[in-house]
Amino acid sequence: MASEKELSKEPTLRIRRIYKGHVVGLRIDTVELPDGRTTQREIVEHSESVSIIPVDSQGNVLLVRQYRKPAERVLLEVPAGGVEPGEKPEETVIRELQEETGHTAQKIERIGAFYISPGYSTELMHLYLATQLIPSSLEADIDEKIEVVRVPLSRISEMIRQGEIQDSKSIAGLLMVLTERDPRK
């Protein structure tokens, strides 16, 4: 069992930026361990993001089906997107809902936040429940081809167990909403 000293922060001694793209950056940090040794950490830099659990008045979750190149497959996911510079997460929720589902929400509730993959990424994802949906669309991103799929809340747990929903942000967000509150209220 590690002591608290062994779990303390790792001061950064040097940062080497490898790549900066539109979505992610990659850097290598040289850090000092509590015992004085140094090592390197490969870190993917990514802006904060949001994931949204939109639930309509009939108790359906609006999911999006889209092809994901890194997975080389079509996945069923909750709507999500990156927080733009100067944008608040709540503004991102409204924008992404309109772009991806053609709806906006009259009620938005923050559920929590989680790190997508803290072993190598800086991305913090904020989770929101969106209800009282009304039609309102924005033009989708030019590089996204999305199909909206309405799924009864009662089917979500089964779909996760059967592997129909495999995206981690979707699984985490849907289970948080299902176990913590009744989104139909």
DSSP for the chain, please give it.
Answer: ---TGGGS---EEEEEEEEE-SSEEEEEEEEE-TTS-EEEEEEEEE--EEEEEEB-TTSEEEEEEEEEGGGTEEEEE--EEEPPTT--HHHHHHHHHHHHHSEEEEEEEEEEEEES-TTTB--EEEEEEEEEEEE---PPPTT---EEEEEEGGGHHHHHHTTS---HHHHHHHHHHHHH--TT-
| 124 and 81 within one domain | yes
Q: In angstroms, how far is CA 96 from the centroid of its own chain?
A: 12
Range of the domain at 19: 5-46
Nearest to 151 by CA among 70, 30, 52, 56: 56
The model's pLDDT over 122-139, given as tens digits with 9 standing for 90+, comes to: 999 999 999 999 998 777
| 14 and 70 within one domain | no
Residue 116 maps to a domain: yes
| 121 and 32 within one domain | no
What total of structural domains would you count in the chain? 2
| 172 and 83 within one domain | yes
| 53 and 123 within one domain | yes
For residues 33 and 10, the answer to whether their CB atoms sit within 8 Å is yes
| 176 and 117 within one domain | yes
Q: What is the CATH number of the domain that holds 123?
A: 3.90.79.10
pLDDT value at residue 48: 97
The model's pLDDT over 86-112, given as tens digits with 9 standing for 90+, comes to: 999 999 999 999 999 999 999 999 999
| 148 and 133 within one domain | yes
| 170 and 146 within one domain | yes
| Residue 1 reports pLDDT greater than 80 | no
pTM confidence score: 0.89
- Looking at residue 61, its amino acid is V
| 82 and 12 within one domain | no
Percent of the chain with pLDDT over 70: 93
Residue 28 maps to a domain: yes
- Calculate mean pLDDT across residues 172-183: 83
Residue 185 maps to a domain: no
| Residue 183 reports pLDDT greater than 60 | no
Report the alpha-carbon distance of residue 52 to residue 108 in Å, rounded: 9
Residue 124 maps to a domain: yes
